[in-house]
Amino acid sequence: MPTFRTTDGTDIFYKDWGTGRPVVLSHGWPLDADAWDNQLRLLAESGFRAVAHDRRGHGRSGQPWQGNDMDTYADDLAGLIEHLNLNDAVVVGHSTGGGEVTRYIGRHGTARVAGAVLLGAVPPLMLRTDTNPEGAPRAVFDAIRDGVRRDRSQYYRELSAPFYGANRPGSTVSQGIRDAFWLQSMRAGVKAAYDCVRQFSETDFTDDLGRFDVPTLVAHGSDDQIVPIAAAAPKTAQLVKDATLKVYEGAPHGLNGEYEERFDADLLEFVRGI
């Protein structure tokens, strides 16, 4: 399996498909690069070099005790981009991966980046505070930690329903998609999965978003039950200079079916237009 080794000795697995302008995709919690397979194939077939990695502690990457924090996630992403010597890249992040991409730009700049896509992403801040009343209360994230700690297998099975909107009338998401969510989630180490909850919920990305200076697409489902839109995409689009905001009416957090097809079309249009 293709891997690179980080400065602290952690092996990071990645997929590298196709040739052309690189598009680097960062996955959500608690998944891995397989969550992007449909987009990786689409991009590679459309003349782009599609790259996606398993975040440390997730999937086929190493499971160190240390480093399960947003700064290190961003540095790992930078390490991958440098290891493959990628330039003029489009960086794409879903959910926690959107935070990873945002912190990457905040810490490492855009010397190697031509554009960014944030899908259902956690920035600017998920946690409810006095200055962020649209956020979710800490009890929501405590419940996630409790689910991971007590019986993560059952918790992930149940989480797949709101993740893909399977608990909404008229949902057409398949059991297979939900099973794939469970499988990927179970490949994440329990320490990494537990630690990551604090990172995606409490990290404030406001300053990082202010450092964006490349074309940016901000996309979000209006019925996202995992990263509710009110505290996320519209605020991000205001903080990023010249961002384009797309809201998919009725779409859940994990896009599938016609919602995924709409995002795929928007992603290709964005990447081709840079």
Which residues are identified as catalytic?
Answer: 95, 224, 253
- The number of helices, as runs of H, and strands, as runs of E, in the chain is 9, 8
Q: Walk across the sheet containing 89-94 and list its strands.
A: 3-5, 11-17, 49-53, 22-26, 89-94, 113-119, 216-221, 244-248
Q: What is the dihedral of CA 146, 206, 84, 52, to 10 degrees?
A: 40
Cβ atoms of 90 and 40 closer than 8 Å = no
Burial (0-12, 13-18, 19+ Cβ within 10 Å), 268: middle
Tokens at residue 264, please?
């795929």
Are 118 and 216 in contact, with CB atoms under 8 Å apart?
Answer: yes
Q: Report strand pairing: 216-221 vs 244-248.
A: parallel
